[in-house]
Amino acid sequence: MHTGLAPPVTPHTSNPASQFPQFAEWLSALEARHLADLRIPEVTRALRALSSAYVERRDAVARGATLDSAGKRAAFALFYAPLHFLTTAHVVQALGAADEPPARILDIGCGTGAAGAAWALAAGGAPAITGIDRHPWTVGEATWTYRQLGLHGRAKQGDATRLPTLRQGTAVVAAYLLNELTAEGRARVETALFAAAAEGTRVLVLEPIARGVAPWWDTTAARVRALGGRADEWRFDVELPPMLRLFDKAAGLHHDELTVRTLYISRAILPGL
């Protein structure tokens, strides 16, 4: 765990891949679902294109080109979604965010549902999940994810920058969303999240650790700390399941550890903004 300027260190937490038997079953179902009509080399090429877009071609991310083909959608579902699940589960455990299970989890910009599902499973599987995403494919995939993992949840198409009215006991997660928004959209989300936190909602934000994709991070982190929250950088040792190792190696990636930056507000110290 890291909250200063020194290099982050690896926290000692349990391994979510072995802790949740549903995770392995979900991976098997993903493989059957997305490799029915695609070969592994096709998905690998798409994974390389996705990785390039996330790191170097940010314009492609902004215009939604990361999901514009069957190969890219399969690569996201088969590789990035499980990585996001594992990362979120590690973070939730390290933060103690599941010690008091939320009644409901709102996952904004939910993608295929991995982050909200990870928090719900870490919290014993009881929280109901609502996912919101702009892309119709991810909405269907997220609902399928919740069902495969034995969770109560549904996803719906909508604007992730406009939060719905939150009921008491709801926690909000925004995983790898803010870096993909325009400055205006990000400001709208931050304002809504901080207002919700001031009213007692737990808020968890996950973002890539690379500074280049989030030049706004330090300013936002300072606002979170002013609300009594915390900003952390994490590195978790990981032994990827076989399918993820296969794609990781074939695409020339090197995930021997999971890295992420997070913002977390469990109880705001200010009555308002």
The per-residue pLDDT for range 65-90, each reduced to its tens digit, is: 568 789 899 999 999 999 999 999 99
Helices 183-198, 217-226: axis angle to 10 degrees equals 10
Nearest to 129 by CA among 147, 138, 117, 137: 117
Identify the pLDDT of residue 253.
83
Q: Hey, what amino acid is at 38?
A: L
The answer to whether residue 71 sits within a structural domain is: yes
User: Which neighbouring-strand residues pair with 130?
Assistant: 106, 154
How many residues can be counted in the chain?
A: 273
Q: How many CB atoms lie within 10 A of CB 267?
A: 11
Beta bridge partners of 204: 173, 264
Does position 273 have pLDDT exceeding 60, yes or no?
no
CA distance 156 to 134: 8
Is a pLDDT exceeding 70 seen at residue 270?
no
> Is residue 42 a part of any domain in this protein?
yes
Assigned domain for 209 exists: yes
DSSP SS3 for 46: helix
Count how many domains the chain has: 1
- The tokens for 253 are 């990636």
Banded model confidence at residue 124, pLDDT cuts 50, 70, 90: very high
User: Of all residues in the chain, what percent are helix, strand and coil, respectively (each to 5)?
Assistant: 50, 15, 35
pTM, 2 dp: 0.90
The pLDDT assigned to 65 comes to 55
* pLDDT for the residue numbered 50: 84
| 272 domain residue, yes or no | no
The whole-number pLDDT of residue 95 equals 96
Per the prediction, the chain carries an average pLDDT of: 88
Position 5 in a domain:
no
Residue with tokens 């995930």: 255
Q: Is residue 9 part of a domain?
A: no
pLDDT in tens, 9-60: 445 456 776 788 999 999 999 999 999 999 999 999 989 888 876 655 444 4
Average confidence (pLDDT) over 87-106: 95
**CATH label of the domain that carries residue 166:** 3.40.50.150
Query: Which pair of structure tokens corresponds to residue 7?
Result: 């290099």
Q: DSSP secondary structure string, 162-173?
A: SPPPPPTTEEEE
Q: Rounded to whole angstroms, how far apart are CA atoms 33 and 156? A: 21
pLDDT tens profile 217-245: 999 999 999 999 999 999 999 889 999 99
Among 160, 224, 231, 217, CA closest to 197 = 224
pLDDT of the residue at 1: 44
pLDDT of residue 67: 83
Average pLDDT over residues 92-104: 95
Q: Is residue 6 part of a domain?
A: no
How many Å apart are CA 114 and CA 158, to the nearest integer?
18
Calpha distance 254→104 (Å, rounded): 35
Instruction: Give the range of the structural domain holding residue 190, as residue numbers without chain letter.
Output: 16-265
Whether 23 is in a domain gets the answer: yes
